[in-house]
Structure 1
Amino acid sequence: MPASHIEQMIEDPDGRWQRILVNIGESSLGWLHARGLLSDRHYAAGDMLRQDWERAGLGIRVTMRWDAAPRDGGRRGPGRRPDPTLAQMAARERFDGAIAAAGPGLSDILWRVACAGEGLAAAEKALGWPSRAGKLVLTLALDRVAGWYRVA
């Protein structure tokens, strides 16, 4: 396994857990974590926030959803799959709770780096902050979010 990849467990749309390889260089949080600028706890909290953001469907969609409607199982057929809308609503509630836990002054950089994938320098510039202020604020936000998600 290359040094830039880690194994991670993800849940697919059918609710099954799969082990995948993730390139940690692809996310801003992964980049910061790989260089020792974020603790394991902070990285885990930021990743949980990003996953909830993605599951809630809060990102920009460039195409229509073409998911098939779930079929009812016959007497011997499989039962109905869980409603994806309920999972999406639960993820949205978790995301909103985590953002609220971070607080109004901290959630801006948290969302930009963890969810939108902006680099720290780009987020600082977009927010009009001085250079290197973002890491401190991001760490404080991730600490609050880790507490909200109950990350050990």
Structure 2
Amino acid sequence: MIAHARNHSEISVKASDATGMALLNDAEGLAREARRVLRRLSETGAVLALAADMDKAVVLRSFKDSAPTRTAVVSREVAQAFALKDWISCSRSGRVASYTITSAGRAALKQYLAEDMERKRRARGLQDGCNPFRDVKNDWAGEGAVAGMSRPAMAESPLAMLARRRDKTGRSFLSAELVQAGERFREDYELAQMGQDAAQNWDRFMLSGDRAEMAGDETLPDGPKTARNRMLSALDDLGPGLSDIIMRCCCFLEGLETAEKRMGWSARSGKVVLRIALQRLHRHYMDANGHVSAMIG
């Protein structure tokens, strides 16, 4: 038995088991899941929850005065591999165990994101003028962004920041159900494995009205292909403008000011349009599924 002592054996792997150990030997698969899941775990208030009788774990993020929002679905194999790499650590044991990202996990994520930035620089022939390890306080504002993309830093998304804002009556600017809808859409985006290409080509997709390329080719696994189809269905329902702000703020993580400038909108209008878009998105999920937070992934 190979058990991770710091994780109280909640996630353990037998030497003969082919789950987490197999993923450790799949560098590409491990890196893909690390970029998706560790980034979610690095957000404030995020934990990975895993029940003993479940094949999949979920990343939950707590916001003030609202129930936790699911931001990612994670297979048990991925959770096992993360534990063996010491990227997550058990913070609460029991029937449903909770895990938080470790300093090793944050360091691994920084390295993966730095590699992504370097690949972008090389692909575009840019000078090395952007340090991915700098202070990320204002990164989501789009300062120094490459070709419309925000820096790949570990900071809060525009959606999370808006969720903390209050109106004059003290109510949240974004209700929990709207945050959940936006996070569900971002989860599909990440599961769809669209990555940098979608962000770099989004303006072309919007101008031409042809997003067929986003559906991907027939070589895609069923999971990512299905996630892309769910995204396209939602985008078709949202229509131009609303789909644009959802993609930019929920998926590409552009700051509201940056999104407003790129779309030629007046200052401070972006948050209102984003809320309208999230309301429409929430209605789409309710009409399609009867709920927002289906167990996907």
Relative to the length of structure 2, the TM-score reads 0.38
What is the letter of the counterpart of residue 157 of structure 2? S
Point out where structure 2 has 5 or more consecutive residues left out of the alignment. Answer: 1-43, 48-59, 61-69, 80-96, 102-153, 166-171, 198-219, 293-297
Task: Identify if the C-alpha distance between structure 1 residues 101 and 135 changes in structure 2 by more than 3 Å, giving closer, same or farther.
Answer: same
> In the aligned structure 1, how far is the partner of 2:227 from the partner of 2:76?
16
Matches within 5 A, 1:81-96: 85-96=221-232
Say if 1:28 and 1:120, in contact at 8 Å, map to a contact too.
Answer: yes
Say if 1:6 and 1:21, in contact at 8 Å, map to a contact too.
Answer: yes
Q: Secondary structure at the match of 2:249?
A: helix
What residue is the counterpart of 2:73 in the other structure? 11
What residue is the counterpart of 1:128 in the other structure? 264
> In the aligned structure 2, how far is the partner of 1:47 from the partner of 1:110?
10
What residue is the counterpart of 2:274 in the other structure? 138
Q: 1 or 2 for the larger relative contact order (CA 8 Å, sep ≥6)?
A: 1
Counterpart pick for 1:38 among 166, 174, 189: 174
Larger radius of gyration, structure 1 or 2?
A: 2
Task: Identify if the C-alpha distance between structure 1 residues 143 and 26 changes in structure 2 by more than 3 Å, giving closer, same or farther.
Answer: same
Counterpart pick for 1:98 among 224, 230, 234: 234
Counterpart pick for 2:156 among 26, 29, 32: 26
Identity among equivalent positions (%) equals 35
Q: Secondary structure at the match of 1:12?
A: strand
Say if 1:25 and 1:31, in contact at 8 Å, map to a contact too.
Answer: no
Q: Secondary structure at the match of 1:26?
A: coil
**Cα deviations across residues 62-95 of structure 1 (Å, max 9, x unaligned)?**
xxxxxxxxxxxxxxxxxxxxxx811111100111
What is the letter of the counterpart of residue 12 of structure 1? V
Tell me the matched-pair count: 128
Q: Secondary structure at the match of 2:194?
A: coil
Matches within 5 A, 1:56-71: 56-60=192-196
**Cα deviations across residues 84-110 of structure 1 (Å, max 9, x unaligned)?**
811111100111111111111211111
Which sits farther off after the overlay, 35-44 or 113-122? Answer: 35-44
Which sits farther off after the overlay, 43-52 or 132-141? Answer: 132-141
> In the aligned structure 2, how far is the partner of 1:15 from the partner of 1:39?
33
**Cα deviations across residues 84-137 of structure 1 (Å, max 9, x unaligned)?**
811111100111111111111211111100000011111111111001111121
> In the aligned structure 2, how far is the partner of 1:103 from the partner of 1:117?
20
What is the letter of the counterpart of residue 11 of structure 1? V
Point out where structure 1 has 5 or more consecutive residues left out of the alignment. Answer: 62-83
Say if 1:102 and 1:145, in contact at 8 Å, map to a contact too.
Answer: yes
Say if 1:56 and 1:91, in contact at 8 Å, map to a contact too.
Answer: yes
> In the aligned structure 2, how far is the partner of 1:15 from the partner of 1:87?
16
Task: Identify if the C-alpha distance between structure 1 residues 26 and 20 changes in structure 2 by more than 3 Å, giving closer, same or farther.
Answer: farther
> In the aligned structure 1, how far is the partner of 2:225 from the partner of 2:77?
16
Counterpart pick for 2:247 among 97, 104, 111: 111
Matches within 5 A, 1:47-58: 47-58=183-194
> In the aligned structure 2, how far is the partner of 1:101 from the partner of 1:13?
30
What is the letter of the counterpart of residue 163 of structure 2? H
> In the aligned structure 2, how far is the partner of 1:97 from the partner of 1:90?
11
